[in-house]
Amino acid sequence: MPQGSIRKLYLIMDRGSGYSSQEFQEYFTGLFPYLDISADIYLIAEDMARDFPRVRETIKQIALFLKRYSFYRINIHPVHPLPFEDLLKGIYNDFFQIINPFNREGYLHQSVSRIMILPILVAEEKDDVGLLNRCLDFLRDRLMVPSIYIPGDASTGGIKGIVRSDKERIYLELTGGDKLERLMNTLGVHSVFDELMTWANAPVKGSLRGCPSIVLREKDGDIYNCFKTAPSKQSVSNLYSMNSLSDLSMTFETHENNRNDCLNCAVESLSLMKDTLRINDREKEAFSISFHLGMELVKQEDYDGALEHFDRVLTGHTDFEDMGTILLSKALCHLRRNENEKAMVTLEEAERHIPSSAMIYYYKGLCEFGLRDYIEAIDRLQDALKMGYDRLPLGDVYFYAGLSHINIEEYGDGLAMMNRAEEFFTEKSPLYYYMGLCYLGMRDLDAALDYLKKALVCKPQKENLSSIHFYLGLCYKEMGRHEDALLDLKRARDTEEGRKDIHNLMGYCYFKLKEYDDAIQSFMRTVEIDPNSAIDYANIGVNLREKGEIEKAIPMFKKALGLDPSIGFARKHLAEIAEEPS
Amino acid sequence: MNILLIEINPFIPPSTPISIAYIAAFLRWHGFHVNIMNIGENTPFSLHLLSSYICDFKPGLVGFSTYQRNILSVIGLANYIKSSDPKIKIAIGGPQATFMPSSALQPMGSIDYICREEGETALLNIALAIRDGIDNTVISGSSCKCEDGLFYDGPSVEAYSDLDRYPSPYLHNDLIDFSNLEEAILFTSRGCPYGCVFCYTPNAFKRKVRFHSIERVIEEIEWIYRKGIKKFWFADPSFSINIDRIDRLMEEVLRKNLKIHIWLETRADLVNNELVKKMKAAGVYLVAYGLESASKKVLEGLKKNISLNDMRRAIKLTQKNGIDVELFTQYGLPHENFGDAMKTLQFLKDNDVKIRGNSNSQQMQVYFGTDVFNSCQEYGVRPLERDMPAYMSIGRQYETEYLSSDDLKKIRLIWEKESLDGVKRKVS
């Protein structure tokens, strides 16, 4: 079953000399089955006096369609400059005659009319407020909810307060381009904003979808699936040249799947709408949207963008009802950006709004962990567990508590926490790795080997491979199994060649196996990686001395002592060499 | 045979289509292939999508959940489906259909059957008759138009007294898509023994109450909980009609450590402190009580058999236990005057009940099957429109002996002004 339907259709009534009006209507009505059962159609006309017959015919066609299919409801928005008062009255009296049977039907069915005319009048500089008011009242009396569009060059003086309900809107022109394009773009931004608002108010929020709208130019029949692509002439289809209308459905679906900047467009609409919301007394809506957009950006790991939205709410709407949640999410953004101090300050503020919140204590635990105060981290995470909350990510809480214990070498407690975390994790490799470290710390080398091997089997992330092999090598080394150790250490080295500790441990194992050349080569690599590693110069010296290359060993010991005079065994070797008969 | 069940409510977000899901589960159990189409506000849906669906699924029978508010959509969809394949039979059921006059089949055009009894059994009989090629005869539990052009009402069918005999709409089924739903709707019982004159339930269920076992309810809760849904909406008309049974249900929720949030509605005289305490512990965050009117005279006339003192006591003990309270109220009730209507508003304020959600009042809707509809003159209700289509009940288009249309509008505006949430009712 094909998905999707056209929820908003913008018809730019810019007919040139091409197809006749009748031809256009024939093709246009073919689009109707693809309209959503609750659709909005915008009829954008530059000059209503000239375009009236075509606008009227279009409304008539829509009414005929609705008469046939009583599960459809369509809002029609004629968008046009304000004509002479008498002309406007004549035009809308005519429209009223077309829709009046639907008003009667609505009354009998105790429902709103299935066809609504919601005009958007473009007020130009010459139009005085008195005229506007008379026209709006005339429309209201005929159950047509009017809105006003203010072009960029017109004054907004006296406009505020002209609309009487939240259904009546004032549209401030938002973008550039020619006259029709400006209209189109402004309506498009409003539409994106409305979709954003619907999404923000929905109890269950999926991902933010693209606006299900299309733009159709009467002049050439070009169809655009995004109002932003209309000015750049990137049409997705053409009304006149399609083989069949089912092609249209396929085309929309293909393009629907290719939308990738809808979230950016939504974000942009919010900032473009700033003045419009102010003049419509709808600023609070913007804060609510910023809140939900911020949350969506957190999900997409765009923490910079999320912080921008959260800060907008926190500075602009100090009595926002979800203040606690917003501060908590802001703290999470700071945490993810490793701004632990900022996160902590935000959490303290959040706590004033939602005291005794397990989530706050969980995040505080993460902050302390990030600040390497592991004892505090353990305390905060324990607090979170004591408070209890069904959405607390228990696995993560136990995991970070375990890591904190490991970091202060409380391996028994660390192991206990990792054991508790195990039931919550599907990817168990990191858990087994840290459990292996705990056993290693507790000197239970067999158990450590078991867990580190399990960590290897459970498909670890590539970046963790070298550490697992390294600690396996360390276990073998502690068991005196230097050849086995070298097998794992080589694997560790092959995965992450630039790690000094791997080469150092390899050098040690080669030394124990009396393979001094290989040992020297390993320690040489460590000092290449870290030229200030005094101990490794000393290690090179020891191996050279074992090989009998005393002359080469002496400068190595001296170099080591030069870097770190506290290396006792380098001094001892030098002293022994000095005492040896030459 | 394929059966398509459609729930369409274009003015509200999609919710769990629980009633048709029960029917679908029952019909599947009897070997039919059943799909549900749930269309709410913002559900993408077009003529083209409908046409493709019908063409692919090829239903032999299409059933609709019918309410006063969606009847135009139902008729429109039915007409289209019938025009696309005249062999497809169409049935309507639900609160608007049960007591709709059979003559309404005429203006509704494409509708073949009106279900009169419990949806499961009525629709099963229709489905069996179509499958067996005997659908032109009178069918038990429904009304139809026969070949002679006349309307016939079939004999009654007995509904199951043990609700567990109906297969669960949730368990072992993929009938309900939870991806866009915030909460699950459950029934633990059906029917109501009381006789409120404005309500359709007493006559539809013959004042009998039937129950699911606690085991079945808990099994459903656990299944839904595992799907990640934590909010539960119990839609029983009087949830605690059997206090011991509900005590056991709450006990089980606690024993199984299910961290859920529950909304329920019940009567003010069906709760006690012990039960409310347990409800709170089990996750009940809101209890809705049916007050209807705070005028003693009006309330008595509604035959609800409840006192304002019962109501005050229940509100107090619910709030005391930390559970929010909603009160269902109406205006435009029989024998109510303007002052009576204002008493109801004042009652909410006096009892610290916030005017939001379902505590936003609404005008009484006079539906088919209610005592007020059946004897509207006796209740002082005067319908405003005589040319209403036969499938429409009086609804809210009436005046009363004491309240004119202007009065009713005035009362509505007063309530709207007091509303804290711009009148966002969930239950109508």
Provide, as residue numbers in chain B, all residues whose Cβ is less than 8 Å from the Cβ of A35.
46-47
pLDDT at res. B342? 97
pLDDT classification of A17: cutoffs 50, 70, 90: low
Query: Is B109 an interface residue toward A (CB < 8 Å)?
Result: no
Q: Which residue of B has its CA nearest to A36?
A: B46
Look at chain A and count its residues.
Answer: 582
Question: What are the φ and ψ backbone dihedral angles of A276, each rounded to 5 degrees?
Answer: -60, -40
Query: Is B386 an interface residue toward A (CB < 8 Å)?
Result: no
- Which one, of B337, B334, B333, B339, lies nearest residue B380 by Cα? B334
- Residue-wise pLDDT tens digits, B345-387: 999 999 999 999 999 999 999 999 999 999 999 999 999 988 8
In angstroms, rounded to a whole number, what is the distance separating the alpha carbons of residues B428 and B423? 12
Residue A93 scores a pLDDT above 60: yes
Q: Higher model confidence: residue A470 or residue A26? A: A470
Q: Is residue B375 part of a domain?
A: yes
In angstroms, rounded to a whole number, what is the distance separating the alpha carbons of residues B52 and A303? 42
Tokens 């609705």, residue located: A66
How do beta strands A170-172 and B113-115 pair? unpaired
Same domain, B105 and B207: no
- Which one, of A190, A181, A195, A196, lies nearest residue A280 by Cα? A190
Q: What is the dihedral of CA A325, A327, A329, A332, to 10 degrees?
A: -140
- Which one, of B53, B75, B54, B56, lies nearest residue B8 by Cα? B75
- Which one, of B127, B48, B122, lies nearest residue B88 by Cα? B127
Distances (CA, A) of B35 to A383, A436, B38, B58: 49, 52, 10, 11
pLDDT at res. A236? 77
The beta-strand segments (E) located in B247-402 are 261-266, 284-292, 324-331, 362-363, 381-383, 398-400
For chain A, give me the number of helices (H) and strands (E)?
Answer: 25, 10
Q: Higher model confidence: residue B129 or residue A17? A: B129
- Residue-wise pLDDT tens digits, A529-544: 999 999 999 999 999 9
Q: Hey, which residues does A41 pair with through a beta bridge?
A: A9, A76
C-alpha neighbours within 13 Å on the C-beta side of residue A525: 18
| CA atoms B170, B173, B179, B180: torsion sign | negative
Report which secondary-structure segment, H or E, holds B347.
helix B338-350
To the nearest whole angstrom, how far is the Cα of B415 from the nearest Cα of chain A?
A: 18
Find the mean pLDDT for residues A73-84. Answer: 93
pLDDT at res. B145? 85
Query: Is B31 an interface residue toward A (CB < 8 Å)?
Result: no
pLDDT classification of B320: cutoffs 50, 70, 90: very high
pLDDT at res. A204? 65
Residue A42 scores a pLDDT above 90: yes
Report which secondary-structure segment, H or E, holds B253.
helix B243-255
Q: Higher model confidence: residue A367 or residue A210? A: A367
Residue B423 token pair: 């009148």
Mean pLDDT score of chain A:
87
Same domain, B249 and B325: yes
CB-based contacts of A555, cutoff 8 Å, min separation 6: none
Counting the structural domains of chain B, the total is: 2
CB-based contacts of B9, cutoff 8 Å, min separation 6: B15, B39, B40, B41, B67, B69, B70
Find the mean pLDDT for residues A401-419. Answer: 96
Q: Residue B17's domain is classified under what CATH number? A: 3.40.50.280
DSSP annotation of B34 reads E
How many beta carbons lie within 10 A of that of residue A89, not counting itself?
16
Q: Residue B189's domain is classified under what CATH number? A: 3.20.20.70
The mean-pLDDT minimum among B69-83, B164-178, B250-264 falls in: B164-178
pLDDT at res. A156? 64
Cα angle at A229 between A225 and A230, to 5 degrees? 85
Provide, as residue numbers in chain B, all residues whose Cβ is less than 8 Å from the Cβ of A108.
385, 387-389, 392
Q: Cβ contact (<8 Å) for A109 and B71?
A: yes
Same domain, B122 and B69: yes
In angstroms, rounded to a whole number, what is the distance separating the alpha carbons of residues B248 and B279? 11
Q: Is residue B160 part of a domain?
A: no
Q: Cβ contact (<8 Å) for B44 and A111?
A: no
To the nearest whole angstrom, how far is the Cα of A2 from the nearest Cα of chain B?
A: 6
Q: Which residue of A has its CA nearest to B56?
A: A1
Residue A175 scores a pLDDT above 80: no
- Residue-wise pLDDT tens digits, A462-503: 889 999 999 999 999 999 999 999 999 999 999 999 999 999
Out of B153, B174, B195, pick the residue that ends a domain. B153
Report ipTM (2 d.p.): 0.91
Domain that holds residue B191: 182-418
The three-class DSSP label of residue B285 is strand
C-alpha A181: how far from chain center: 30
pLDDT at res. B402? 96
- Residue-wise pLDDT tens digits, B61-114: 999 999 999 999 999 999 999 999 999 999 999 999 999 999 999 999 899 999
Same domain, B302 and B221: yes
pLDDT at res. A300? 82
Residue B338 scores a pLDDT above 60: yes
* Nearest neighbour of B49 by CB, restricted to A2, A204, A206: A2
- Residue-wise pLDDT tens digits, A223-239: 887 777 666 667 777 88
Kindly state the percentage of chain B with pLDDT values over 70: 98
* Nearest neighbour of B46 by CB, restricted to A36, A105, A198: A36
To the nearest whole angstrom, how far is the Cα of A69 from the nearest Cα of chain B?
A: 5
Q: Cβ contact (<8 Å) for B69 and A111?
A: yes
Same domain, B52 and B195: no
To the nearest whole angstrom, how far is the Cα of A68 from the nearest Cα of chain B?
A: 8
For residues A55-77, one letter each, b for 16 or more C-beta atoms within 10 angstroms of the residue's C-beta and e for the rest, the string is bbebbeebbebbeebbbbbbbbb
pLDDT at res. B424? 75
Provide, as residue numbers in chain B, all residues whose Cβ is less than 8 Å from the Cβ of A198.
42
Residue A319 scores a pLDDT above 80: no
Same domain, B147 and B191: no
Tokens 């390899």, residue located: A506
Q: Cβ contact (<8 Å) for B48 and A33?
A: yes
Q: Is residue B428 part of a domain?
A: no
pLDDT classification of A1: cutoffs 50, 70, 90: very low
pLDDT at res. A287? 83
Query: Is B52 an interface residue toward A (CB < 8 Å)?
Result: yes
Residue A438 scores a pLDDT above 60: yes
pLDDT classification of A247: cutoffs 50, 70, 90: low
- Angle, helices A323-336 vs A303-316, to 10°: value is 150
C-alpha neighbours within 13 Å on the C-beta side of residue A425: 18
- Which one, of A134, A94, A133, lies nearest residue A117 by Cα? A94
pLDDT classification of B248: cutoffs 50, 70, 90: very high
In angstroms, rounded to a whole number, what is the distance separating the alpha carbons of residues A222 and B229? 45
Q: Cβ contact (<8 Å) for A203 and B396?
A: no
Q: Which residue in A9, A36, A37 has the most chain B C-beta atoms within 10 A of its own C-beta, making it the best mutation to test that interface?
A: A37
In angstroms, rounded to a whole number, what is the distance separating the alpha carbons of residues B217 and B234? 11
Q: Which residue of B has its CA nearest to A390?
A: B259
Q: Cβ contact (<8 Å) for A70 and B76?
A: yes
Out of B153, B168, B201, pick the residue that ends a domain. B153
pLDDT at res. A292? 85
Same domain, B273 and B126: no
Q: Is residue B64 part of a domain?
A: yes
DSSP annotation of A494 reads H
Same domain, B208 and B86: no
The three-class DSSP label of residue A443 is coil
- Which one, of A74, A69, A81, A44, lies nearest residue A227 by Cα? A44
Residue A436 scores a pLDDT above 60: yes
pLDDT classification of A165: cutoffs 50, 70, 90: confident
Out of B102, B134, B153, pick the residue that ends a domain. B153
Residue type, B318: T
Tokens 């629980």, residue located: B18
CB-based contacts of A290, cutoff 8 Å, min separation 6: A270, A309, A310, A312, A313
Same domain, B67 and B204: no
- Which one, of B74, B65, B59, B24, lies nearest residue B130 by Cα? B59
Residue A259 scores a pLDDT above 60: no
pLDDT at res. A209? 67
Query: Is B357 an interface residue toward A (CB < 8 Å)?
Result: no
Residue type, B371: D
Provide, as residue numbers in chain B, all residues whose Cβ is less than 8 Å from the Cβ of A114.
72
For residues A19-54, one letter each, b for 16 or more C-beta atoms within 10 angstroms of the residue's C-beta and e for the rest, the string is beeeebbebbeebbbbbbbbbbbbbbbbebeebbeb
Q: Hey, which residues does B366 pair with through a beta bridge?
A: B395
Residue type, B268: A
C-alpha neighbours within 13 Å on the C-beta side of residue B106: 9
CB-based contacts of A135, cutoff 8 Å, min separation 6: A82, A85, A88, A121, A146
Contact (Cβ atoms closer than 8 angstroms) between residue B281 and residue B250: yes
Q: Is residue B201 part of a domain?
A: yes
In angstroms, rounded to a whole number, what is the distance separating the alpha carbons of residues A290 and A307? 10
How many beta carbons lie within 10 A of that of residue A530, not counting itself?
13
CB-based contacts of B354, cutoff 8 Å, min separation 6: B324, B420
In angstroms, rounded to a whole number, what is the distance separating the alpha carbons of residues A139 and A524? 88
The three-class DSSP label of residue B16 is coil
pLDDT classification of A205: cutoffs 50, 70, 90: low
The mean-pLDDT minimum among A72-81, A201-210, A349-358, B297-306 falls in: A201-210
Same domain, B10 and B121: yes
Q: Which residue in B46, B180, B396 has the most chain A C-beta atoms within 10 A of its own C-beta, making it the best mutation to test that interface?
A: B46
DSSP B184-199: EEE-SEE--S---TT-
Q: Is residue B34 part of a domain?
A: yes
pLDDT at res. B336? 97
In angstroms, rounded to a whole number, what is the distance separating the alpha carbons of residues A468 and A450? 12
The three-class DSSP label of residue B263 is strand
* Nearest neighbour of A4 by CB, restricted to B44, B388, B397: B44
Q: Cβ contact (<8 Å) for B392 and A110?
A: yes
In angstroms, rounded to a whole number, what is the distance separating the alpha carbons of residues B58 and B51? 10
Contact (Cβ atoms closer than 8 angstroms) between residue A373 and residue A391: no
Q: Cβ contact (<8 Å) for B76 and A71?
A: yes
Q: Hey, which residues does A144 pair with through a beta bridge?
A: none
Q: What is the dihedral of CA A21, A25, A26, A28, to 10 degrees?
A: 130
Q: Is residue B164 part of a domain?
A: no
Find the mean pLDDT for residues B318-323. Answer: 96
Residue type, B198: F
Q: Is residue B259 part of a domain?
A: yes
Cα angle at B96 between B95 and B102, to 5 degrees? 120
Find the mean pLDDT for residues B229-255. Answer: 94
The mean-pLDDT minimum among A124-128, A371-375, B290-294 falls in: A124-128
Same domain, B202 and B270: yes
In angstroms, rounded to a whole number, what is the distance separating the alpha carbons of residues A325 and A332? 11
Tokens 């006079």, residue located: B366
Contact (Cβ atoms closer than 8 angstroms) between residue A307 and residue A295: no
Which burial class, exposed, middle or buried, applies to A446 when counting CB atoms under 10 A from its CB (0-12, 13-18, 19+)? exposed
Residue A336 scores a pLDDT above 50: yes
* A→B interface, C-beta within 8 Å: 1-7, 32-38, 69-73, 105, 107-111, 114, 198, 202-204, 206, 212, 249, 390
Q: Hey, which residues does B210 pair with through a beta bridge?
A: B190
In angstroms, rounded to a whole number, what is the distance separating the alpha carbons of residues A231 and A528? 59
Q: Cβ contact (<8 Å) for A71 and B8?
A: yes
pLDDT at res. B15? 82
Same domain, B134 and B197: no
To the nearest whole angstrom, how far is the Cα of B387 from the nearest Cα of chain A?
A: 8
For chain A, the maximum distance between any two Cα atoms, rounded to a whole number of angstroms, is: 122
Q: Which residue of A has its CA nearest to B389?
A: A108
